[in-house]
Structures are given as structure tokens and as C-alpha cells.
Amino acid sequence: MPKIVDHHQRRVELVDATWRIIAEKGLDGATMRDIAAAAGFANGALKPYFPTKDHLLDFAFEHIFAQTNRRMREATQGLSGRAALRAYCHEILPLDDERLNEARVAIAFWQKALQDPAKAAVHDRAMEQWRESLKLLLADAGYRGDDPENSVGAVMDLLLGAQITATLSPAHHSPQKLVAQLDTLLDALV
């Protein structure tokens, strides 16, 4: 009798290994062999699921985006106003090793998206979802400005910029500093 394989579960296992290897070694340093070994598979076992490292990167970006969204829902459940807005933002900020590793994958994806319109479109859709959520959260928190689009942009710039700066200059961008920067911006907006 042939072995029954849960293909979705296998893809998730490969993506979990992928984003951890990319976070550790960078996109250029991550090989398909490394990813397969980290997931406990033979190198050739990846091809049916992800024919190229580029396909793996796409799926890894979508995976970390989904993980972040899940954490956002959990973190904001039962909260409202500024507390909900702040909790939502904390799930994007690289405040722990997991979120810092996710930032590294996002940065690798951004690098590819600069030259790939399909990847840029995936990123735009993801960020538009966050912008819409932030606009609602800002309003619920008592936003007192007259340009919500600009204010949402400022929050997004802080959150996404923090992913870059915390990755490249961790000594100068500790979690405490990132939270303080976010609180300073939120104080100005709500």
C-alpha cells in the first residue's frame, strides 16, 4: 500500500525550515540542500513542492505574513483603542528572535521584489491589508489628525523600517528602543 503524504503539511514543514535557514544564512547562503536537511528531507524531495528557491521564498513570505496576522488577531482580541493599536504594531516590530527572523525573510523577499513585479504585487496586497487595519485601529484609538493616510504611512514606515534597522544594527535598535519609538509616534497621533 502506498504511503499517504499530507502535501500541505510537508509544504509547511519545508517553509518553516526555509525561513529559519534564510534568517540564519541569508537568501544567497541558503541552499536547497540546507533547507531539505533542516526539514528532515532528502534534497530531491523539495522539487515536487518547490521547484526553485525563489518559489520557496514566495511561500515563506506568505507564511510569515500569515503567522504575523494570526499573532495580531490573538494579541488584539478583547482589546480596543490605543491598547489594540499598540498590540497590533508589536506583532510587526522585531521584538524577539522569531520576529527578527521573520524580518530577515521579509528583507530577502523585498530584495527580490525590487526586480519582480509579481513579488512586488504580493507585497503590496499584504501591506494594503495592514494599512486598512491600521486606519481602523487609529480611528478606534481616537486619532486626532486630519490626514489618516499620512499617519498610517508614518506608522508603517516605522514598523517596516524597524525590521531593517533592528536586523542591521541590533545594538542601536533594542526591543525597548523600538517600543519607545512606537509609543512616541502613537503619542503624537492619538
Instruction: Indicate the pTM of the whole model.
Output: 0.87
Q: Are 55 and 163 in contact (CB under 8 A)?
A: no
Which pLDDT score is estimated for 137? 97
Cβ atoms within 10 Å, residue 16: 16
Domains of the chain: 7-189 (1.10.357.10)
The CA dihedral of 101, 70, 113, 125, to the nearest 10 degrees, is: -160
What does the block give as the cell for 132? 486598512
**What phi and psi values does residue 51 have, to the nearest 5 degrees?**
-65, -25
190 vs 32: which has the higher pLDDT: 190
Cβ atoms within 10 Å, residue 119: 19
Mean per-residue pLDDT over the chain, rounded: 90
Distance in angstroms (rounded) separating the CA atoms of residues 164 and 59? 21
- % of the chain beyond a pLDDT of 90: 61
pLDDT tens figures, 74-91: 999 999 999 999 999 999
- Which distant-in-sequence residues (6+ apart) come within 8 Å of 105 by Cβ? 19, 22, 23, 57, 60, 61, 64
The CA dihedral of 15, 19, 21, 22, to the nearest 10 degrees, is: 130
DSSP 2-32: PPP--HHHHHHHHHHHHHHHHHHHHHHH--H
Per the listing, cell 525590487 goes with 114
Per-residue pLDDT averaged across 6-20, rounded?
A: 77
CA angle (135, 143, 69) in 5-degree steps: 35
Cβ atoms within 10 Å, residue 184: 10
Task: Specify which of 19-23, 105-109, 160-164, 168-172 reaches the highest per-range mean pLDDT.
Answer: 160-164
- Asked if the model's pLDDT at residue 18 lies above 60, the reply is yes
Q: What value does the CA radius of gyration of the chain take, rounded to a whole number of Å? A: 18
The Cβ-side half-sphere exposure at 83, using a 13 Å CA radius, reads 6
pLDDT tens figures, 38-88: 888 887 777 888 888 888 888 889 989 999 999 999 999 999 999 999 999
- Asked if the model's pLDDT at residue 3 lies above 80, the reply is no
- Asked if the model's pLDDT at residue 1 lies above 80, the reply is no
